Amino acid sequence: MPRARATVEQKRLSQSNRDRRYRAKKKQEFQELDAVLRQLQEQHDNLKLVTLVDDIATAEIEANQLYKALAENQKLRSDAIRMHAICQALNDWVLSQVPSRELTPKASWMHSTLVANPIARVYGYKWFSDKIYHAAQRYFPQEPFGNTVDDAMRHVLHTDVDEDGLSNVGAMELHLQTTFFTNFKTAADLFWSFVITNNFITSSFTSSSWIEDSVDARLVYHCVLNPHTGTYNRRILRMYEEPNRVIITFASIADDERFPWRENELRTYGFAWATFERVSDKITISRFTTLHTAPVTARGPASLEQIGRLYGRSAHGIEHREAYIEQLRSIAERVYLNGFMHLQKSFTAVVEQAMQASCEDDDAALDLDIANLA
């Protein structure tokens, strides 16, 4: 019996020890978990504080930006109201003034009159020529034939509307491009001589020409007459020399105090230029551009019937003006292209003759040198 009682007591004690160790273990785990919980709670509280501070800072920044935007908007609105008030005041001031005379339309420089006074006349020669020279410089990079150097020619007839609202011939435009195998200065000098002599007018355009006035070797007043049509072309010729290019300008004058209008006289006016550009020492590309209005009389632009007579057309069918003008376009294109083609061939022959003469002179000089050496 005593032995059995001792065994039971040992079991109870052993169980009590196990329970005590278990409770101690659980207590330790609880304490560890509680410590972790407190740590996490502290971190959570810190993060909430940081987030709250960030939110407050962001809200303050946004509020500040909003305040600045509202202030800028208010300033712009105030400026707009103030400028509107100023504009309204200026408008009221303008309306309160006495109306001034309307400006008259400004005529083109081509309608300017060449005066008779000798001193002022020379200034007029230079003024007209400079206008065309500067126009040629601006236009030169935009030639109608682009970058090609092939020989080419193009004619354009421009139409206009007269005072009665009827279609009429407005102007003639022509572009010509040629290559010469000589120095550009030589080609320009030959062309200058070619223009001011009768060599230039052996065509269907004119039949006689003369130099009316000469300022120097590079500035003259040149007159051309076609007695068959009664058309005069009085023009100022001037040569401009550049390092690699020569430009010759033609300023055709309609109103000249030295030459009063005569009854039934027809005059043409407009402008033209010829450029001789250096490609190499022995190659020159030449471009010629001209724009001339339809002939004018003392009373104003020539009628369509008068223009038709210049090209050999009667007034038959003139009531159909568009068709009549198209007929004139075809005739004018043929006349101009054939005429300038003839001039081109004639001048090319002049250049070739000059080059041949130059070569012969060089050969003669070489023979003379050889003879002297012998």
pLDDT of 311 above 90: no
Give the per-residue pLDDT at 203.
47
- pLDDT tens across 220-239, in order? 999 888 766 667 888 999 99
pLDDT of 123 above 90: yes
CB-CB contact of 135 with 142 (8 Å): no
With H, G, I as helix, E, B as strand and everything else as coil, classify residue 302: coil
Give the per-residue pLDDT at 3.
62
Give the per-residue pLDDT at 207.
61
pLDDT of 368 above 90: no
Average pLDDT over residues 171-191: 92
Cα 73 to Cα 86, 289, 292, 374: the distances in Å are 20, 59, 60, 101
Give the per-residue pLDDT at 361.
59
Cα 303 to Cα 78, 240, 326, 327, 331: the distances in Å are 63, 37, 16, 16, 17
Give the per-residue pLDDT at 204.
47
Give the per-residue pLDDT at 178.
92
Q: Which of 83-87, 148-152, 329-333 has the lowest mean pLDDT?
A: 148-152
Measured CA to CA, the distance from residue 253 to residue 272 in angstroms comes to: 12
Could you tell me the pLDDT band of residue 363, with boundaries at 50, 70 and 90? low
Percentage above 90 pLDDT, the chain: 26
pLDDT of 373 above 70: no
Whole-prediction pTM: 0.66
Give the per-residue pLDDT at 142.
58
pLDDT of 188 above 50: yes
Cα 119 to Cα 114, 174, 257, 297, 300: the distances in Å are 11, 34, 14, 28, 29
Task: Round the average pLDDT of the chain to a whole number and report it.
Answer: 82
Give the per-residue pLDDT at 107.
58
Strands 245-253 and 270-280: antiparallel
- pLDDT tens across 246-265, in order? 999 999 998 899 989 888 88
CB-CB contact of 158 with 173 (8 Å): yes
Could you tell me the pLDDT band of residue 103, with boundaries at 50, 70 and 90? very low
Most confident of 9-18, 42-51, 94-103, 115-124: 115-124
Measured CA to CA, the distance from residue 140 to residue 134 in angstroms comes to: 10
The end-to-end CA distance of the chain, in Å, is 170
Measured CA to CA, the distance from residue 188 to residue 175 in angstroms comes to: 17
